[in-house]
């Protein structure tokens, strides 16, 4: 059996002539569209059929069969392509997309053809799409009227974010640290002086402490690879010392060192990258004051009202009084929106609970059902703990 991997060049290049190249372990070919090289294809010959995917029927459940991937050659193909890219990029900007690949298992005879359950497939890594609320869009537009300029911070954050999504964890850390050093480093270079300078900025120290606490406590970081790193550097001073130490390693590391970092071994910096990304987001968030100035909520509401973008939710709720009697009531709540969404439901529910905590006295809230007044679409249905209130 032969195994073939086809990778796409991120940016095709002109190649007037080409033919197969046999290396020590594999055959490499370049696919062209006219004069443009579009793909690079790696083929391993005479591989055991045991490397092909295995399809196992399931006895029960909604899944008819389970596909087990047993191919161990893809890693070798990716390593070779990356090394090719490094050498070729000395003279030209060549970049291969190694996250997306077409894989084909090619039988050499009928016996192998019978044994190969899945002969070809495509594997792709997709970047998740960001999800924004319109309130965030509007607040950012209102903020453009201010004198604030977050462009310096955002430029580093965007580069770090892009590197992280592409699993270039070392680059992500570098961009994050350059941001920290630019804002809080005070031009210091020596390790001890740089640590002291960063610690002298109370706002940065507080952000480091808060980010550490988030990783240790927040369920968002459950299972995070950075939790062990954070546990080992659980104070702002210890963490900043570690970040500065890693700066020395990843910025000024000597390639002759036995433990020097390699650009194709990015996974070693994944935990460091994850922590510094969240810290960089905290730093960026501190620059967003213009988006949250007093009165911007009212302006957002009035703007929505101006363009007819207001929806009314009718909430039918039940309460229980101290005599164990139940009461049904109705309240209408307005919110900026044009369509029923999960975000709208959460916002309406939050406003209702704020109102209930302030306005409902000597009763317990039992349940609530909210519907869009215009269409009848249900927004939320909630049941609450409702003990009999103590008598006054």
pLDDT tens track for 287-304: 999 999 999 999 999 999
Q: Which residue pairs, CB below 8 angstroms and at least 24 apart, start in 55-60?
A: 55/117, 55/118
The pLDDT score that the predictor gives to residue 222 is 86
The pLDDT score that the predictor gives to residue 328 is 97
Q: Which residue pairs, CB below 8 angstroms and at least 24 apart, start in 64-67?
A: 67/118
308 vs 63, 145, 312, 347, CA distance in Å? 47, 24, 12, 18
Nearest to 276 by CA among 249, 298, 300, 244: 244
Nearby residues of 313 by Cβ (< 8 Å), 6 or more positions away: 332, 333, 334, 335, 348, 370, 371, 372, 373, 379
3-state secondary structure of 209: helix
pLDDT tens track for 129-140: 888 899 999 999
pLDDT surpassing 70 at residue 122? yes
The pLDDT score that the predictor gives to residue 131 is 87
Phi, psi of 189 (to 5 degrees): -120, -45
pLDDT tens track for 38-97: 999 999 999 999 999 888 877 776 766 777 777 888 889 998 998 899 899 988 989 999
pLDDT range class, residue 390, cuts 50, 70, 90: confident
Q: Which helix or strand (DSSP H or E) is residue 211 part of?
A: helix 202-217
3-state secondary structure of 252: helix
> Rounded to whole angstroms, how far apart are CA atoms 310 and 300?
11
> Rounded to whole angstroms, how far apart are CA atoms 292 and 285?
11
Q: Which helix or strand (DSSP H or E) is residue 145 part of?
A: none
Residue appearing with tokens 């909630």: 382
Q: Which residue pairs, CB below 8 angstroms and at least 24 apart, start in 388-392?
A: 388/320, 388/322, 388/324, 388/364, 389/320, 389/321, 389/322, 389/362, 389/363, 389/364, 390/322, 391/322, 392/322, 392/362
Q: Which helix or strand (DSSP H or E) is residue 20 part of?
A: none
pLDDT range class, residue 180, cuts 50, 70, 90: very high
**Would you state the structure tokens that stand for residue 8, as one six-digit string?**
């796409």
> Rounded to whole angstroms, how far apart are CA atoms 106 and 110?
11
Q: Is 119 exposed, middle or buried (0-12, 13-18, 19+ CB in 10 A)?
A: middle
The pLDDT score that the predictor gives to residue 125 is 76
pLDDT, mean of residues 348-377: 96
Residue appearing with tokens 């969240």: 278
112 vs 46, 49, 82, 194, CA distance in Å? 11, 7, 31, 63
The pLDDT score that the predictor gives to residue 261 is 81
DSSP state letter for 147 = S
9-23, 27-41, 112-126, 245-259 — which is least confidently predicted? 245-259
The pLDDT score that the predictor gives to residue 21 is 95
Look up the pTM and report it.
0.72
The pLDDT score that the predictor gives to residue 61 is 67
Q: Which domains does the chain have, with CATH numbers?
A: 2-123 (no CATH), 151-287 (no CATH), 309-383 (2.60.40)
């Amino acid at each position: 059996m032969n195994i073939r991997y086809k990778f796409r060049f991120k940016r095709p290049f002109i190649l007037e002539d080409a033919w197969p190249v046999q290396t020590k372990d594999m055959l490499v070919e370049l696919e062209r569209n006219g004069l443009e090289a579009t793909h690079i294809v790696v083929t391993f010959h005479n591989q055991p059929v045991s490397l092909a995917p295995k399809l196992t029927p399931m006895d029960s459940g909604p899944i008819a069969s389970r596909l087990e991937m047993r191919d161990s050659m893809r890693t070798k193909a990716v390593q070779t392509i990356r090394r090719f890219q490094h050498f070729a990029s000395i003279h030209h900007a060549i970049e291969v997309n190694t996250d997306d690949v077409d894989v084909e298992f090619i039988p050499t005879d009928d016996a192998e053809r019978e044994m190969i359950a899945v002969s070809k497939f495509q594997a792709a890594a997709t970047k998740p799409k960001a999800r924004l609320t319109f309130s965030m869009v509007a607040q950012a537009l209102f903020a453009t009227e201010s004198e604030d300029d977050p462009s310096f911070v955002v430029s580093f954050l965007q580069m770090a974010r892009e590197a992280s999504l592409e699993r270039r964890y070392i680059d992500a850390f570098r961009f994050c640290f350059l941001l920290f050093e630019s804002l809080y480093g005070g031009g210091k270079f020596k390790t001890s002086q740089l640590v002291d300078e960063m610690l002298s900025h109370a706002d940065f120290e507080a952000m480091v402490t808060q980010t550490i606490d988030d990783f240790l406590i927040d369920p968002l970081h459950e299972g995070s690879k950075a939790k062990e790193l954070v546990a080992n550097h659980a104070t702002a001073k210890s963490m900043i010392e570690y970040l500065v130490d890693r700066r020395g390693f990843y910025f000024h590391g000597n390639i002759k060192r036995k433990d020097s970092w390699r650009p194709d071994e990015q996974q070693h910096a994944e935990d460091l990258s994850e922590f510094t990304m969240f810290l960089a987001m905290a730093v960026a968030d501190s620059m967003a004051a213009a988006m949250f100035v007093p009165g911007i909520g009212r302006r957002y509401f009035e703007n929505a009202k101006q363009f007819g973008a207001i929806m009314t939710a009718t909430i039918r709720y039940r309460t229980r009084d101290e005599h164990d009697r139940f009461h049904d009531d109705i309240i209408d709540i307005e919110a900026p929106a044009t369509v029923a969404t999960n975000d709208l439901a959460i916002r309406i529910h939050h406003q209702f609970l704020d109102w209930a905590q302030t306005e409902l006295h000597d009763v317990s809230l039992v349940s609530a059902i909210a519907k869009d007044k215009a269409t009848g679409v249900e927004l939320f249905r909630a049941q609450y703990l409702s003990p009999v209130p103590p008598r006054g």
